[in-house]
Chain A
Amino acid sequence: MTKIIINGTEVETREGIPVLQAALEMGLNVPHYCYHPGLSVVASCRLCLMEMKMPHPKTGEMGWAPKLMPSCQTPVRDGMEVRFDSEAVKRNQRNCMEFFLLNHPLDCPVCDQAGECLLQDYSYQFGDSTSRMVDPKYVNPKKDLGPKTLLYANRCVMCTRCVRFADEVAGTGELCVTNRGSKAEIDVFPGKALDNPLQGNVVDICPVGCLLDKDFLFKQRVWHLHSGDSICPGCATGCAVRVDQNENVIYRLKPRYNPGVNDWWMCDEGRFGWKYAQDATRLNRVITRRGEAVESLDWAGLPQTVRFRFAEVTAEHGDASIAIVLSPFMACEEAWLVATALRKIAPNAALVLGPVPLREQDEVFPKGATNGDAKFTISKERCPNRRGIERIIGALGGPTLTFAEFSENGGKGEIKGAWISGGYPEKWVDKELAKAADKIEFLVVHDLFASELCAPAEIVIPACPFTERAGSFMNIAGKLQPFEWAVKPADGCKRDGQFLQELAEITGIYQPESVRKLMAKQMPEFAEVAAPPKMPEHQH
């Protein structure tokens, strides 16, 4: 057990981690810019300097060393004593803050970072209100670093987090520091723009407003944003993300700390790939077809109608002619609710896993890393919950079909009643499925967008994207990760979980935890979800 004394308080910590990390973990607000737990340590910002007790070179007596030490670069050793609350440390923080603001344009009113800016926070908490600078400030031109990112060099504090990220995590090394000293700037080589699949992270780790996301530029002041903790549905990696919205409009996605899964990062496809969730062409009303006539249906009567029609078809053709297609975009709870609701009516209905969009191979970072030292992986499986749906289908037992078999049997007219869940962000209906859908007598489609399935379907139910749902996804490593909704369902839609719970004749408001409790009776692995731990409050 390693114990060290910080500010006179003894804390238990881990041998070898930076003292700064230990201080942050005990809840201390130690200012720092260049230190990031996911990157190498450079100790260049000098904000986190501390006082440390060392033996006197002559007498060997322990005393406060006259020079300040960078706490990010000093590893924890058992019994060491450090302090961050002395006058010398505070004076250093004050001077550093004055130094960081020498060339800063103080353009917070037009800066996207204002409100979540570490220059603002630290200046307020640790800095002085005045600057002794009398000379004119350097003015650097803005740079277009790449298709998605802008650099406003004036605001930079030269922490070089972005440069280290490009070198160490993305492994593409586009970024560099040009010039030296007070004229140093972040730059890329002309024509070799910052354009790797992880580049959006440099905007997140920039502690100030220097690197800016073009997609979010001038869209919203950050203090208006409210966030929901979600899981990115882009691939099977299952990155923990934060959906930032204001008045039910989503503005951006940011990664959440999730050790072992996505750590601090996320890919650009996930970061900018949520736009479909606010697409105006989404399905937004329940439609029913009787012969040629198309009518809108009311949500209130819908569960009963669906159950009644399934019962009719089952009575007519037998329960073996019923199939339930569960999409790998559904949450585990939703899939279980559909399956149990319809199995109650047709106990031998076949469960089918919907098509799993696949790419050729995983994308591993840093570029060229072997699997052992990969820091980030973009999975080739382009859906979030294949594992979860497979577990549920396996645990519920009974007849199952592969998706190809479902299309084939449907095409032969063997399937009389089917529930098809979609929720794919892209076009997903293939020719075989469209052909099968024509032959199915009673088809319910639960999907985000209109497709070839809508015309033959008797009932079309609009689904919600991940930002409007709650539940849990099981990622490629078998980790069951919960997510919550960030925005209210779009007009005309109803939260999937709520509707499916009504379909399964469970009363009350849909709460994923309560559904999981019910699921855990059959499948104990759904009793516990692995929510990512919180980062220390003052870590960034």
Chain B
Amino acid sequence: MSWKVIDRNAAPDKAEAPVLTDALVEKIRVFLPRYETKRAALLPALHVVQDHFGYVSWQAMQELAELLEINASDVFDVVTFYTYFWTHPRGEKVVTVCRSTACAFMGADSVLDECKKVLGIGEHETTADGKFSLQTEECLATCDHAPCLYVNERCHKHVKPEDVRRIIEDPNNAKLDIERSTLFDGVKGA
């Protein structure tokens, strides 16, 4: 049992200027009239922040809490609940390996191990050069092609451990076959 203690009395470093720029705040405010409470706008607000910075920093969480009039701990709670949201900087490309049943049966564990070996990082970590991040996700909705692996939003199907190095080294590994969904790009007409 490790005796390492995380000290929560200490506040994280704070930048001088707010990280949520006026433009971002304006983007978030658009969502507010949609819901009865300000708290309910937290998820779309987090999407806005993550889309802009690639991750949700401690300071962004605090500023969001102030903006939506909730506790900073509530924002922290939601951000960490969804693995989609990152609390630390993300690499340019995010390699996502499925950890659900179908992929697990088809050998997702060895694919994940190979990814860790090739990239030299663990889960939810980013390589030193900032190129790649690695994460696992519950079902990626491609069970018929298990085991599967995503690089950003591009799906690679039927991945074998020996394919991993080729996929990661391929410069076009994140290129989409079809156009990206615009679901989270904001409110229509905003």
Contacts and interface: CB of A to CB of B under 8 A. Distances in A.
A174 B71 CA distance: 7
B11 A191 contact: yes
Contacts of A144: 5-9
Given A139-B2, A173-B74, A176-B76, A187 B8 contact: yes
A105 B81 CA distance: 24
A534 interface: no
Interface string B67-87: 000011111110011110000
Nearest to A145: B8
Contacts, number: 82
A192 interface: yes
Contact of A188 (B3, B73, B80): B73
Given A174-B73, A176-B73, A141 B10 contact: no
Contacts of B8: 143-146, 187-191, 193-194
Interface in B126-171: none
A105 B2 CA distance: 11
B15 interface: no
A177 B4 CA distance: 20
A494 to B, nearest CB: 44
B58 interface: yes
B77 A190 contact: no
A386 B74 CA distance: 42
A478 B123 CA distance: 61
A189 B61 contact: yes
B7 A178 contact: no
A154 B1 CA distance: 9
B5 A191 contact: no
B46 to A, nearest CB: 14
Contacts of B9: 144, 146-147, 191, 193
B33 interface: no
A80 B70 CA distance: 41
Nearest to A194: B8
A179 interface: yes
Given A176-B74, A178-B77, A190 B4 contact: no
A175 interface: yes
Nearest to B4: A141
Interface of B: 1-12, 58, 61-62, 71-77, 80-83
Given A142-B3, A145-B8, A190-B12, 10 more contacts: A141-B5, A143-B5, A143-B7, A146-B8, A177-B77, A178-B77, A187-B73, A189-B71, A191-B10, A194-B8
Interface of A: 105, 107, 139, 141-147, 150, 154, 172-180, 187-194
7 contacts: A141-B2, A142-B6, A146-B8, A174-B73, A178-B76, A190-B11, A191-B12
